[in-house]
């Protein structure tokens, strides 16, 4: 049986200063954990059996038409600039045009060392691979623009982190892997012809409706503003919003130390390495502006009249907080059942959030309970809640079918971090059943699933875990 992937590799046609061409390193005993058949069909991939899929998506067999390469990029990590990062453990196999006509990257992550590995081994551990698979598919099911998960394969080899862990390879699908850091690389090296080529490539691939660098920048800012507001409306904390983890496409990328918040608090941080809360839940709205300012800075050399570029780009960046506020209002307004939220509704939303914060309410369950009338049970200050509830009822009295609207945006099921950790612990013992169960439940997050009710429960104090970089 053969596997056919209809590759059409445009990035590989860019100059070789954009990447290093190489083949994946072999693994000892590839074993398929998961293959995302609906996504494969979307991509036009056909002809599949498990050993062949394991060989291809473990990196042992290069599929016909692939042109594997590690992409180069730079990036600000926790605010400090790294002039050269690049795929240190990932390889772009190539691109396909999917059924809807969109170009999509297929990339192996954990496929061995590359010229950009620095001191890393080029590998990924099983836990983070399963976490990325589950989280990215859960985000997709929630309606969030995101990279997708095509496959996860055990390698049969160990990786050495704080402890010895089983290795795995993850196959990621993305509408591209162009990062703010990709622009920063060429700008910081003053490779202006490449910067121009990258700009044209990005524009043609993602924003064909734009012409100038300023128009492209504004379009990216719009998508990123929408993305961050959507994350926040779901209680999602990305955890590592470095500029190399910030895409031009507006998709969420790199599910490292990320998590959905359980108890609502705006300062919530999950990542153990984010010691100053740079990427805390609430800080995400400011950080995305900072990241876009880095993109703007990198794009200035694209414009001949640089003073004009600086003032145009500054205006675009300065407009972002308002954009985010607007997106936030729409998202949170919908969570309260409002079809057309107004600026004055921000007070109503904020007052609910304050009550949730004061009592440590569960973010997801409180919003889900609004439509069924049981949100009062989630709030400790009942008197304040009753007063708020009366204001809210008055506001939505004229809304048609607010319950349906609320159910469509307030999920019942999110990937709770303690469940993700339990899933990883089981997989480390060779039991993948919880992984598959979570994938199935989280593929329908807005539906009531009485059989899976236990997965809605917030963690007990003993179950709370911090997301960490441990064992990436
Ligand atoms: N085990 C490793 N071996 C080599 N390089 C690594 C390893 N882990 C991370 N890196 C590199 O360190 C940099 C930052 O890592 P980060 O965890 O943000 O990325 P990642 O999860 O590997 O990749 P991506 O951003 O593509 O999801 C990247 O250049 C990445 O390739």
Q: pLDDT tens for residues 32-59?
A: 999 999 999 999 998 778 999 999 999 9
* Among protein residues, the one whose CA lies closest to atom 10 of ligand 1: 88
The residues annotated with a catalytic role in the active site are: 244
Asked if residue 158 has its Cβ within 6 Å of ligand 1, the reply is no
In the predicted model, what is the mean pLDDT of the chain?
A: 96
* Ligand 1 pocket check for 258: Cβ under 6 Å: no
pLDDT grade for 467, boundaries at 50, 70 and 90: low
Residue 83 has pLDDT above 70, yes or no: yes
254 is in an annotated binding site: yes
The CB of 254 under 6 Å from ligand 1? The reply is yes
pLDDT (tens digit, 9 = 90+) per residue, 310-361?
Answer: 999 999 999 999 999 999 999 999 999 999 999 999 999 999 999 999 999 9
> What pLDDT was estimated at residue 466?
66
* Residue in the structure block whose two tokens are 């895409």: 247
- Measured between alpha carbons, how far is 92 from 104 in angstroms, rounded to an integer? 11
ipTM of the complex: 0.98
**pLDDT for the residue 29:** 98
pLDDT value at position 331?
98
Tell me, in angstroms, the distance from the centre of ligand 1 to residue 292's CA.
21
Q: Where are the domains of the chain?
A: 11-174, 329-409
Residue 46 Cα to ligand 1 midpoint, Å, equals 30
pLDDT for res 153? 98
Taking residues 117-128, report their average pLDDT: 97
86 labelled binding-site residue: yes
- pTM (predicted TM-score): 0.97
The yes-or-no verdict on residue 31 having pLDDT over 90 is: yes
Inform me whether the pLDDT recorded for 208 exceeds 80. Answer: yes
Residue 254 CA to ligand 1 center (angstroms) comes to: 9
Whole-number percent of the chain with pLDDT over 70: 98
pLDDT in tens, 155-183: 999 999 999 999 999 999 999 999 999 99
């Amino acid at each position: 049986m053969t596997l056919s992937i209809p590759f059409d590799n445009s990035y590989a046609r860019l100059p070789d200063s954009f990447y290093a061409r190489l083949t994946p390193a072999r693994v000892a005993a590839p074993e398929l954990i998961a293959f995302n058949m609906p996504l494969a069909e979307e991509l036009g991939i056909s002809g599949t059996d498990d050993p062949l899929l394991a060989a291809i998506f473990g990196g042992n067999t290069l599929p016909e038409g692939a042109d594997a390469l590690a992409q180069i990029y730079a990036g600000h990590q926790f605010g400090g600039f790294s002039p050269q990062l690049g795929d240190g453990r990932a390889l772009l196999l190539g691109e396909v045009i999917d059924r809807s006509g969109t170009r999509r990257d297929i990339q192996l992550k954990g496929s061995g060392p590359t010229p950009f590995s620095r001191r890393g081994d080029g590998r990924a551990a099983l836990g983070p691979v399963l976490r990325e698979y589950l989280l990215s598919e859960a985000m997709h099911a929630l309606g969030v623009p995101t990279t997708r998960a095509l496959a996860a394969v055990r390698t049969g080899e160990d990786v050495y982190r704080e402890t010895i862990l089983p290795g795995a390879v993850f196959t990621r699908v993305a509408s591209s892997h162009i990062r703010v850091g990709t622009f920063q690389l060429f700008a910081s090296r003053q490779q202006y012809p490449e910067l121009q080529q990258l700009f044209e490539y990005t524009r043609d691939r993602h924003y064909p409706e734009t012409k100038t660098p300023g128009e492209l920048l504004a379009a990216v800012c719009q998508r990123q503003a929408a993305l961050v507001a959507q994350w926040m409306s779901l209680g999602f904390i990305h955890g590592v919003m470095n500029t190399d983890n910030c895409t031009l496409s507006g998709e969420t990328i790199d599910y490292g130390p990320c998590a959905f918040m359980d108890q609502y608090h705006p300062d919530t941080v999950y990542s153990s390495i984010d010691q100053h809360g740079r990427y805390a839940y609430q800080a995400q709205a400011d950080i995305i502006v900072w990241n876009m300012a880095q993109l703007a800075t990198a794009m200035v050399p694209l414009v001949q009249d640089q003073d004009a570029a600086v003032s145009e780009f500054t205006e675009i960046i300065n407009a972002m907080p308002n954009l985010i506020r607007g997106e936030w209002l729409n998202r949170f307004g919908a969570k309260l059942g409002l079809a057309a939220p107004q600026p004055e509704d921000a007070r109503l939303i904020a007052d609910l959030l304050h009550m949730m914060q004061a009592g440590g309410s569960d973010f997801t369950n409180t919003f889900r309970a609004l439509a069924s009338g049981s949100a009062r049970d989630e709030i400790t200050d009942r008197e304040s809640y009753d007063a708020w509830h009366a204001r809210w009822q008055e506001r939505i009295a004229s809304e048609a079918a607010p319950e349906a609207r609320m159910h469509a945006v307030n999920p019942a099921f999110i990937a709770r971090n303690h469940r993700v950790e339990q899933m990883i612990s089981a997989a480390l013992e060779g039991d993948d059943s919880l992984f598959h169960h979570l994938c199935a439940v989280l593929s329908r997050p807005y539906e009531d699933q009485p059989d899976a009710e236990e997965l809605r429960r917030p963690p007990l104090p003993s179950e709370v875990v911090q997301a960490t970089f441990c064992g990436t």
